[in-house]
Chain A
Amino acid sequence: MMMTETGQYPPFPVPRVCPFREIAEQAGMPQLPPGREAVSRVTLPDGAAGWLITGHECVQRILTDPRASSSRSNPGFPQLRRTSTRELPKSTPPIIGLDPPAHTVHRRMLINEFTVRRLRALRPRIQQIVDTCIDDLLDAGPEADLVEALAVPVPSLVICELLGVPKQDRPYFQERTKLLLDPNTSAEDARAPLVELVGYIDKLILGKEAEPGDDMLGRLIVRYREAGLYEHHFIVKTAALLLNAGHETTSNMISLSVLALLRHPGQLERLLADPARMPVAVEELLRFFSVVDHTMARVAVADIELGGKTIKAGEGLVALPSTANRDPDVFQNPDELDLERNEVRKHLAFGYGNHQCLGQNLARIELEVVLSTLFARVPGLRLAVPLTGLCFKDEAQIYGVHELPVAW
């Protein structure tokens, strides 16, 4: 790996390039140095030297290696952001920051809430939520910002459904989640809505502690109590994590997917002609955009041999699903969007290993429902601005587009 004159390795994180640039190569991908290897050295924001894992096989290996720890309290855990702006202040992350055996215990508490069966049962409610949002979109006029009208509210309302937020409280919830996702909200302005949301979740859980009903939080409370592990604040943090993990990710995928489909009208037409194609199309959109790129961080707790290099104990690393998902050893013509791609399910957009996204099947259903319903009900949908008029979240933790002006 080439070092710069100052002796430092290339920096990470780096911005992404426009996903629809005329030269398809590496569109939408992080601007990394050419010729880098599957395992290479980078300089992290705090100046520490870390490792970047970009090859598909190496990403799978490292995310299943017990020597790669998720615990933020292990020395050398990579600091990817200088300050924690939109996250809970001074708070140990719950399950995302745990290693086995603690991780296993807590993951098992949650698995049953996110099974294929349970999420399928939620599908009719998700359909209703999407239908209502599209009703409002259509009523508001022949133009709209799809991000504000559909991409932001749908996942937020689905999470309300999941957490058992009473209907009358949803506007309160929505206003605050909307502020958090608004790119114009400064870090300072984001603190109040965040504190209010966590405060709300805290009260919600207190209510359910008294009377745990048959919803996710109620069942979680009962399960933790039965295991003798109940801790109020841990449940609050878990609920806040689910909100955090399931809102902006799905929201950004909705907008980017609509944009991609509008940019590939031939493929869109084929997709709409046969609903059975939608699941594979959703997988391809997940692969192509790989919106979550800065969170698969680990620290080695023992030396790890990987890709011909040695990651030493105490060194931090980041696994990049975006580049792994464009690995030409795994995906043919990886920089092209192919909604019927055969090998698509090998993608790592949801990560890999024991921390693989808990909500992945919920994300899949939300995307399937939104995309099928939107194009069925708004067949004349088109972009209302040229591509060059769009602003992408190319330096954000979760990749996306700020606004998506559409018309019909």
Chain B
Amino acid sequence: MRITVDRERCIGAGQCVLTDPEIFDQSEEDGRVLLHTAHPPQEAAAAVRRAIQFCPSNALALTDG
């Protein structure tokens, strides 16, 4: 699976970081989302889906690949 990020939509709420800090981070430059990895392991799928759900600005999506 592949996580896609739309940084233009990100408002820096950090809910993705609170959900899974191994995958999601906030840039020290501007506080917006940074991915540690765009291709997390399959075990992280549920956490990634929750992060997508909790993002207040629809900045995250999951695709195949």
Q: Which residues of A contact B (CB under 8 A)?
A: 64, 107-108, 111-117, 345-346, 351-354, 356, 360-361
- The smallest beta-carbon distance between B10 and chain A, in angstroms, is 8
Q: List 28 A-B contacts (CB under 8 A).
A: A64-B57, A64-B58, A107-B12, A108-B12, A108-B30, A108-B31, A108-B32, A111-B11, A111-B12, A112-B29, A112-B31, A114-B14, A114-B31, A115-B26, A115-B31, A116-B18, A116-B21, A345-B19, A345-B50, A345-B54, A346-B53, A346-B54, A354-B57, A356-B13, A356-B56, A360-B13, A361-B13, A361-B18
- The smallest beta-carbon distance between A287 and chain B, in angstroms, is 13
B26 A117 Cβ-Cβ under 8 A: yes
- The smallest beta-carbon distance between B32 and chain A, in angstroms, is 7
**Distance A353 CA – B19 CA, assembled complex (angstroms):** 18
Q: Which residues of B contact A (CB under 8 A)?
A: 9, 11-15, 17-19, 21, 26, 28-32, 50, 53-54, 56-58
Chain A residue nearest in CB terms to B12? A111
Which chain B residues border A361 with CB–CB below 8 Å?
Answer: 13-14, 18
- The smallest beta-carbon distance between A119 and chain B, in angstroms, is 9
A116 B26 Cβ-Cβ under 8 A: yes
Which chain B residues border A356 with CB–CB below 8 Å?
Answer: 11, 13, 56-57
- The smallest beta-carbon distance between A345 and chain B, in angstroms, is 6
Which chain A residues border B18 with CB–CB below 8 Å?
Answer: 116, 361
B11 A116 Cβ-Cβ under 8 A: no
Known: A111-B11, A360-B13. A353 touches B57 (CB 8 A): yes
**Distance A291 CA – B61 CA, assembled complex (angstroms):** 31
Closest 7 pairs between A and B when the two form their complex, measured CB to CB: A111-B12, A111-B31, A112-B31, A356-B56, A116-B14, A115-B26, A115-B31
Which chain A residues border B50 with CB–CB below 8 Å?
Answer: 345
**Distance A161 CA – B31 CA, assembled complex (angstroms):** 20
Which chain A residues border B58 with CB–CB below 8 Å?
Answer: 64
**Distance A107 CA – B28 CA, assembled complex (angstroms):** 16
- The smallest beta-carbon distance between B11 and chain A, in angstroms, is 5
- The smallest beta-carbon distance between B54 and chain A, in angstroms, is 6
Chain B residue nearest in CB terms to A283? B18
Which chain A residues border B17 with CB–CB below 8 Å?
Answer: 116
**Distance A116 CA – B12 CA, assembled complex (angstroms):** 9
Known: A114-B31, A115-B31, A116-B18. A353 touches B12 (CB 8 A): no
A115 B53 Cβ-Cβ under 8 A: no
- Cβ-defined partner of B11 (8 Å) among A113, A117, A345, A354: A354
**Distance A107 CA – B13 CA, assembled complex (angstroms):** 11
**Distance A112 CA – B12 CA, assembled complex (angstroms):** 8
Which chain A residues border B54 with CB–CB below 8 Å?
Answer: 345-346
Which chain A residues border B28 with CB–CB below 8 Å?
Answer: 112, 117
B57 A115 Cβ-Cβ under 8 A: no
User: Which of B21, B26, B32 lies at the interface centre, i.e. has the most chain A CB atoms within 10 A of its CB?
Assistant: B26
- The smallest beta-carbon distance between A129 and chain B, in angstroms, is 22
**Distance A250 CA – B31 CA, assembled complex (angstroms):** 23
Which chain B residues border A114 with CB–CB below 8 Å?
Answer: 12, 14, 31
**Distance A117 CA – B34 CA, assembled complex (angstroms):** 13
